[in-house]
Amino acid sequence: MQPISVLVVDDHAVFADALRARLDAEQDLAPVTVAYSVAEARAKLAVQRPDVVILDMYLGDGSGLQVADEVRILALEARILMLSASGSVDSVVDALASGVRGWMSKTVEITELINAIRALHRGEAWLHPALLGRVLAAQLRRSASPPSDPLGVLTQREREVLDCLAAGMSRAESAARLQVSVNTVRSHIQNLTAKLGVHTTLEAAALRNSQRSSHNRDLA
């Protein structure tokens, strides 16, 4: 059987190195590499194409969601497992919308983490049962956004990209603002225009500005 390659992305070097050492002891997990920042993860994803990416939610130069964005561009087949100290339901829902397929606490037993890595590689999802009901309820609330909110179908990251466009920023400027690559911004633009049923970024920006103006009038 082909070994499962793993990339650990965590800015806590002691934790990341200890996790790499433990995963290295499993014969079917190889190679196991580490990135300590969003920038380093981006560089390694471009050349390594790991099977499973283990992400911390919060990194020194950004967030795990930024890395998830890069995975969707640079290593499309990789499965993403978020390993975080945070248990916020909204964070989990945002992560799932960004392509994450597993979420575990950093306090999880190592054997369960290893089982989750193998399960994700088989194409399964992995979410702690204690979170499952709350996450499903939050997803249902988001999908039931009222008609007055046409942007309710967008993920948080897609909204951020749209806000940059509405502010008149170019793709390069948007990428710099959000600390992602231009290709990642381009991918989000393709997704958000499709979801909003518009054909150009100008139409999308106009829709965002129109919604903002309407909101301001309601508050006046």
Tally of structural domains, the chain: 2
Give every strand in the sheet of 126-127, ordered side by side: 29-35, 4-9, 52-55, 79-84, 100-105, 126-127
The pLDDT-based confidence of 219 (bands split at 50, 70, 90) is: very low
Identify whether residues 131 and 166 lie together within a single domain. no
Identify whether residues 109 and 164 lie together within a single domain. no
Helix 64-74 to helix 156-166 angle (10° resolution) is 90
Domain boundary among 109, 140, 171: 140
Report the alpha-carbon distance of residue 96 to residue 184 in Å, rounded: 17
- Assess contact for 51 and 81: CB atoms under 8 A: no
Report the alpha-carbon distance of residue 192 to residue 163 in Å, rounded: 12
Domain boundary among 140, 171, 190: 140
Q: pLDDT tens digit string along 119-129?
A: 999 999 898 77
Which segment of 50-54, 108-112, 125-129 scores lowest on mean pLDDT?
Answer: 125-129
Calculate ∠ Cα 155-161-163, nearest 5°: 100
Q: What is the residue range of 132's domain?
A: 4-140
What is the model's pLDDT at position 220?
45
Tell whether the model's pLDDT for residue 144 goes beyond 80: no
CATH number, domain with residue 58:
3.40.50.2300
Q: Which of 1-5, 28-32, 97-101, 168-172 has the highest mean pLDDT?
A: 28-32
In a domain, 145, yes or no: no
Residue 159 exposure: Cα atoms within 13 Å on the Cβ side: 12
Report the alpha-carbon distance of residue 100 to residue 97 in Å, rounded: 7
What is the model's pLDDT at position 12?
93
| Cis before 31? omega within 30 | yes
Identify whether residues 158 and 91 lie together within a single domain. no
Calculate ∠ Cα 47-23-35, nearest 5°: 40
